[in-house]
A and B are shown apart, each in its own frame.
Chain A
Amino acid sequence: MGVKLLLDKANVPGIRTYEVYRREGGYRAVEKALKEMTTDAIVEEVKKSGLRGRGGAGFPTGMKWSFIAKPEGVPRHLVCNADESEPGTFKDRYLMEFLPHLLIEGLIVSSYALGSNETYIYIRGEYAWITDILEEAIEEAKAAGWLGKNILGTGFDCNIHVQRGGGAYICGEETALIESLEGKRGNPRIKPPFPAIQGLWMRPTVVNNVETLAAVVPIINMGGEEYAKIGVGKSTGTKLISACGNINKPGVYEIDMTITVEEFIYSDEYCGGIKDGKKLKACIPGGSSVPILPANLLLTTAKGEPRYMNYESLSDGGFATGSMLGSGGFIVLDEDQCIVKNTYTLARFYRHESCGQCSPCREGTGWMEKILQKIETGKGEMSDIDLLWDIQRKIEGNTICPLGDAASWPVAAAIRHFRDEFEWHVKNPELSQTSNFGLQHYADPIHVPA
Chain B
Amino acid sequence: MATTFNDTQMTEFKRLVARYPEGKQKSALLPALHLAQDSFGGWLSTETMDYVASLLHIEPIEVYEVATFYSMYNLKPVGKFVFEVCQTGPCMVSGSDNIIDYIKKTLDIKPGETTKDGMFTLKLVECLGACGYAPMMQVGKIYKEHLTKEKVDSIIAAYRTEAANN
The interface residues of chain B lying within 8 Å CB-to-CB of A185 are 65-66, 69
In whole angstroms, how far apart are the Cα atoms of A331 and B71 in the complex?
24
- Do B66 and A184 touch across chains, with their CB atoms under 8 A apart? yes
- In the complex, the answer to whether B132 meets A244 with C-beta atoms within 8 Å is yes
Quick one: given A168-B70, A244-B94, are A180 and B131 in contact (CB under 8 Å)? no
CB distance from A305 to the nearest CB of B (A): 28
Task: Indicate whether B159 reaches chain A with its CB closer than 8 angstroms.
Answer: no
The listed residue (A75, A93, A245) touching B94 by CB distance below 8 A is A245
Cβ–Cβ contact A118 & B70, under 8 A: no
Tell me, yes or no, whether A108 is within 8 Å of chain B by CB.
no
Residues on A with C-beta less than 8 A from B125 are 167
- A contacts with B, residue count (CB < 8 A): 57
Interface of chain B residues 56 through 104 with chain A (CB within 8 A) = 56, 58, 62, 65-66, 69-73, 87-90, 92-94
> Smallest distance from the beta carbon of B73 to chain A beta carbons, Å?
6
Q: Which residues of B contact A126 (CB under 8 A)?
A: 72, 128-129, 138
Contact present for B72 and A345 (CB under 8 Å)? no
Residue-wise, chain A 249-280 has the 8 Å CB interface mask toward B (1 for contact) of 01110000000000000000000000000000
Are B26 and A345 in contact, CB atoms less than 8 angstroms apart?
A: no
**A371 CB to nearest chain B CB (Å):** 17
Interface 9-mer from B3-11, B27-35, B107-115, B149-157: B27-35
Mark B103-137 against chain A: 1 for CB-CB distance below 8 A, else 0: 00000000000000000000001111111111000
A302-337 near B? 1/0 per residue, CB < 8 Å: 000000000000000000000000000101011001
B133's nearest neighbour on chain A, judged by CB, is A250
Task: Kindly identify, within residues 52 to 98 of chain A, every residue whose CB is under 8 Å from any CB belonging to chain B.
Answer: 75, 84-90, 93
Report, as a range, how many residues of chain B touch the other chain: 35 or more
A345 to B88, CA, bound (A): 6
> Which A residues are in CB contact (< 8 Å) with B65?
184-185
The complex places the Cα of A184 from the Cα of B68 at a distance, in Å, of 11
Contacts of B34 in A (CB 8 A): 125, 164, 166
Asked whether B14 is an interface residue with its Cβ less than 8 Å from the other chain, the reply is no
Expressed in whole angstroms, the Cα–Cα distance for A372 and B28 within the complex equals 39
Does A337 lie within 8 Å of B66, measured CB to CB? no
Does any Cβ of A come within 8 Å of B24's Cβ?
Answer: yes
- A129 and B90 within 8 A (CB): no
Return chain A residues, CB-CB under 8 Å to B129: 84-85, 89-90, 93, 124, 126-127
Kindly identify which residue among B27, B72, B90, B94 contacts A167, using a CB–CB cutoff of 8 Å: B72
Within 8 Å CB of A120, what residues of B? Answer: 19
Chain B contact residues, CB within 8 Å of chain A: 19, 21, 24, 26-31, 33-34, 56, 58, 62, 65-66, 69-73, 87-90, 92-94, 125-134, 138, 141-143
A contacts, CB < 8 Å to B: 75, 84-90, 93, 118, 120, 124-129, 161, 163-169, 180-186, 201, 242-246, 250-252, 284, 288, 329, 331, 333-334, 337, 341-342, 345-346, 348-349, 352-353, 355
Q: Apart from A167-B125, A186-B69, list 5 A-B contacts with CB within 8 A.
A: A87-B131, A90-B131, A125-B34, A168-B70, A349-B89
Interface CB pairs A-B, < 8 A, 12: A84-B129, A87-B131, A88-B89, A128-B141, A164-B34, A183-B56, A184-B65, A184-B66, A244-B90, A244-B131, A331-B90, A334-B93
